């Protein structure tokens, strides 16, 4: 296992390859050794969690049961006392997350719903973010919806100034989101 250290503004490509058998996984190595510099999404999310000292936030609009359990395990890896899951509790995500809110709260995870009525529609989000201490962030396409599928997800890890910009956005989302309580 190698240890990755990001310079102040360096970034790392993060990928989840489609489930086997995958044509993409077969062809990607032909692009040369650069593909080896891509990191596995789940490994990088765990690394971000372990690096968090004061806070970690996972922001995913879509969450299924397996994804919620993955998020809880990710939070469990973090020594940070402030743990927040931001999602939108409409539809399938609500049916998956609401039964787990009490367990999340026992684990010290605050759950926020960013799905707010706005005129004749809703204000919500599509961003997928994991951020530690406002200084190290994953930004990408991976929702917290784990299941065997044939979809490639791609993201990037940023540190320093770009992560602080993402953090300002996430803090703003936290301020307008609705806290979810166990019922």
User: Which DSSP letter does residue 31 get?
Assistant: G
- Measured between alpha carbons, how far is residue 16 from residues 44, 47, 69, 179 in Å? 11, 15, 18, 30
Considering the domain delimited by 11-179, tell me its CATH architecture.
Answer: 2-Layer Sandwich (3.30)
Tally Cβ neighbours within 10 Å of residue 94: 16
Does this model's pTM top 0.85? yes
Domain boundaries, the chain: 11-179
pLDDT in tens, 1-50: 345 565 555 687 888 777 778 888 888 888 877 766 778 888 999 999 99
Tens of pLDDT, residues 48-60: 999 999 999 999 9
- Spatial distance between the Cα atoms of 163 and 149, rounded to a whole number of angstroms: 30
More confident residue, 149 or 34: 34
Q: What is the pLDDT of residues 61-119, one digit of tens each?
A: 999 999 999 999 999 999 999 999 999 999 999 999 999 999 999 999 999 999 999 99
Question: Rounded CA gap, 159 and 179, in Å?
Answer: 28
């Amino acid at each position: 296992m190698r240890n990755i250290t990001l310079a102040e503004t360096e970034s790392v490509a993060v990928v989840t390859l489609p489930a086997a058998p995958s044509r993409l996984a077969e062809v990607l190595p032909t692009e040369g050794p650069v593909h080896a510099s891509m990191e596995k999404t789940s490994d990088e999310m765990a690394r971000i969690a372990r690096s968090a000292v004061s806070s970690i936030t996972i922001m995913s609009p879509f969450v299924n049961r397996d994804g919620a359990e993955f998020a809880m395990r990710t939070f469990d890896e973090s020594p940070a006392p402030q743990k927040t899951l931001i999602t939108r509790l409409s539809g399938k995500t609500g049916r998956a997350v609401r039964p787990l809110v009490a367990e999340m709260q026992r684990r010290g995870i605050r759950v926020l719903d960013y799905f707010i009525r706005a005129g004749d529609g809703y204000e919500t989000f599509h961003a997928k973010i994991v951020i530690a201490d406002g200084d190290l962030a994953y930004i990408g396409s991976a929702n917290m919806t784990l299941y065997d599928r044939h979809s490639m997800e791609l993201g990037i890890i940023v540190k320093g100034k770009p992560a602080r910009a993402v953090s300002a956005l996430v803090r703003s989302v936290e301020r307008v989101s609705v806290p979810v309580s166990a019922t």
